Amino acid sequence: MAKEQISIFDMFKIGIGPSSSHTLGPWRAAQRFIKVLKDKNMLENVEQVNVLLYGSLAKTGVGHGTDIAVLLGLSGDDPVTFEVSQVMPKIEQIRSSKTLLLAGEHQIDFSYVDHLLFLYHESLPFHPNALTFQAFLKDGKAISETYYSIGGGFVIQENDSQSVLSEIDLPFPVDTAQELMVWCMKTGLKISELVLENELAWRPEEDTRAGVLQIFNTIKECIYKGCHSSGILPGGLNVERRAAKLSKRITKDRPYDSYDTWMKAIREGGKDFGYILDCVSCFALAVNEENASFGRVVTAPTNGAAGVIPAVLQYYITFYDAYDENKIIQFIATASEIGSIFKKGATISAAMGGCQAEIGVSSAMAAGALTECLGGSQRQVLMAAEIAMEHHLGLTCDPIGGLVQIPCIERNTMGAIKAITAAQLALQSNPDKAKVSLDAVVSTMWDTAQDMNVKYKETADGGLAIKVPLSLPEC
């Protein structure tokens, strides 16, 4: 049986907010459906397309932009390259014209109300995030494909795991933290070094480096843009963006005109504990405010938790003078391996496991990465990841209004601070005396996910989502 092989670029994907499972995944599913139509030479014969959203995709689809994502995907647009400023204008054009240009080539009539269906009370057993595309052809025939967005932008079909399984043989296959530790002991490699050796099975080293640095550049641009954008977030909650005001207070009147000089201005503020806390919070807020605004972000490992790893990485770069390509690649490579262990042993989907699967996993990834970069041993890296997740166990996903805003944005600041604390604890501890292993906490997280009531799994049916009165339409 083929093992699940996960690359750095599976855990970190460039896309558009606000949700990896509700936006990026459905977008990718729509692209796959378009490819099916093209491969079967059916595209030009399509007369009508229906999109059926089930379960969590229906209940919080509007707040998470699922409707927007599938329409852009069907239009042939790509989330990595599509200009974010054109998202809403293009959707408005589709809605007002009642037409859809499939793959950018073939125009059909399309009614947002009649052909995009939110099945609030229906779900499919394989996964809560399910969607079906139906194409009706001019000759009376039809084709239907069902996809599942399983978290982090991963998309599969039932009995078809092409998105996450690989035929290749990795030199160091890893499913568990214990297996990772065995390989590290046998080879003497750091976790990041082992990851980069595995990546060679997919592509040359220079391509991996270039790809990771593209990931970092997207993160860097997202943080900087988020720290210099003000206003109210879309969606109807009237949440005010805070990162820009916080960034201005942090830098005071110190001049800057770019990311590099902005970072220098932040460093000049010193290393007071409260000041550093403000900086880390600012970095995390910036990313997730961009995410909530349909901005360009990196799944890390999801969009809802996209601010944790960037905030901790930016903290490391800023306060440890680590603005160095090799150190950045080391950080991201280590984080990806920790994330893949959770992906294989549990879940990174809030619809399956609540927010512990998103903020918890991202915090564990960041904690492990920071620990290695600060000189921790392989066992201390795993210990840091375990500590971070242990204190997120049971965290529910209850987005108010189905939007990735409250409590999601602030949760990223909490996850980042917990990651830094976990790293510091691990660096000052002897892993031989640890009572809980990373594998044990992964298993516990999965057990907790299965026991968690469905209303706390990204459905907006429980918790904070029903405690705050809203004048919002049902979504």
The CA-based diameter of the chain, rounded to the nearest angstrom, is 71
- pTM for the model stands at 0.92
Residue of 424, 421, 427, 416 lying closest to 380 (CA atoms): 427
C-alpha 320/C-alpha 337 separation (Å) is: 23
274 versus 471: the higher-pLDDT residue is: 274
Q: Average pLDDT in the 53-61 region?
A: 89
Q: Average pLDDT in the 177-193 region?
A: 97
Q: Average pLDDT in the 336-349 region?
A: 97
Q: In which band, very low, low, confident or very high, does the pLDDT at 166 lie, cut at 50, 70 and 90?
A: low
166 versus 420: the higher-pLDDT residue is: 420
C-alpha 340/C-alpha 338 separation (Å) is: 5
Residue of 85, 94, 89 lying closest to 30 (CA atoms): 94
Q: In which band, very low, low, confident or very high, does the pLDDT at 472 lie, cut at 50, 70 and 90?
A: very low
Tell me, what's the pLDDT at 167? 66
The answer to whether the peptide bond before residue 171 is cis (omega within 30 degrees of 0) is no
Tally the C-alpha atoms within 13 A of residue 273's C-alpha that lie toward its C-beta: 3
Tell me, what's the pLDDT at 318? 97
Q: Average pLDDT in the 72-76 region?
A: 96
Structure tokens at 273: 């504990």
Please determine, for residue 160, whether its predicted confidence score (pLDDT) is greater than 80.
Answer: no
- Helix, coil or strand: residue 130: strand
Q: In which band, very low, low, confident or very high, does the pLDDT at 470 lie, cut at 50, 70 and 90?
A: low
Neighbours of 184 (CB within 10 A): 21
- Helix, coil or strand: residue 265: helix
Residue of 373, 375, 296, 297 lying closest to 335 (CA atoms): 373
Tell me, what's the pLDDT at 319? 97
Please determine, for residue 274, whether its predicted confidence score (pLDDT) is greater than 60.
Answer: yes
Structure tokens at 117: 């269906």
Give residue for tokens 């009649």: 114
Mean pLDDT of the chain: 94
For residue 17, count CB atoms less than 10 angstroms from its CB and return exposed for 0-12, middle for 13-18, buried for 19 or more.
Answer: buried
Pairing of strands 296-298, 14-16: antiparallel
* Torsion of the alpha carbons at 306, 307, 310 and 314, rounded to the nearest 10: 170
Q: 211 with 8: CB under 8 angstroms?
A: yes
Q: In which band, very low, low, confident or very high, does the pLDDT at 3 lie, cut at 50, 70 and 90?
A: low
Please determine, for residue 165, whether its predicted confidence score (pLDDT) is greater than 80.
Answer: no
Please determine, for residue 62, whether its predicted confidence score (pLDDT) is greater than 70.
Answer: yes
Structure tokens at 310: 């960037």
Q: In which band, very low, low, confident or very high, does the pLDDT at 473 lie, cut at 50, 70 and 90?
A: very low
Please determine, for residue 475, whether its predicted confidence score (pLDDT) is greater than 70.
Answer: no
Q: Which residues pair with 16 in a beta bridge?
A: 296
Q: Could you report the per-residue pLDDT of 420-437, keeping only the tens digit for each?
A: 999 999 999 999 999 999
Helix (H) or strand (E) holding 49: strand 46-54
> In the chain, pLDDT over 70 holds for what percent of residues?
96
Q: In which band, very low, low, confident or very high, does the pLDDT at 269 lie, cut at 50, 70 and 90?
A: very high
Structure tokens at 328: 């950045």
Pairing of strands 130-137, 14-16: unpaired
Please determine, for residue 161, whether its predicted confidence score (pLDDT) is greater than 80.
Answer: no
Tell me, what's the pLDDT at 153? 87
C-alpha 54/C-alpha 402 separation (Å) is: 15
Give residue for tokens 């998103």: 358
* Torsion of the alpha carbons at 401, 402, 406 and 409, rounded to the nearest 10: -150
Instruction: Print the SS3 string covering 131-166.
Output: EEEEEEECCCCEEEEEEEEEECCEEEECCECCCCEC
- The CA-atom distances, in angstroms, between 59 and each of 88, 187, 195, 455 are 21, 48, 38, 11
Tell me, what's the pLDDT at 20? 86
C-alpha 282/C-alpha 273 separation (Å) is: 14
Structure tokens at 298: 């990196």
- The CA-atom distances, in angstroms, between 177 and each of 113, 275, 302, 346, 381 are 48, 35, 21, 13, 10
- For residue 57, what are the contacts with CB-CB under 8 A and spacing of at least 6? 22, 26, 66, 128, 129, 130, 131, 149
Q: Average pLDDT in the 180-204 region?
A: 97
Q: 70 with 116: CB under 8 angstroms?
A: yes
Q: In which band, very low, low, confident or very high, does the pLDDT at 288 lie, cut at 50, 70 and 90?
A: very high
* Torsion of the alpha carbons at 260, 15, 83 and 69, rounded to the nearest 10: -150
Tell me, what's the pLDDT at 2? 47
- For residue 379, what are the contacts with CB-CB under 8 A and spacing of at least 6? 181, 431
Q: Average pLDDT in the 192-200 region?
A: 98
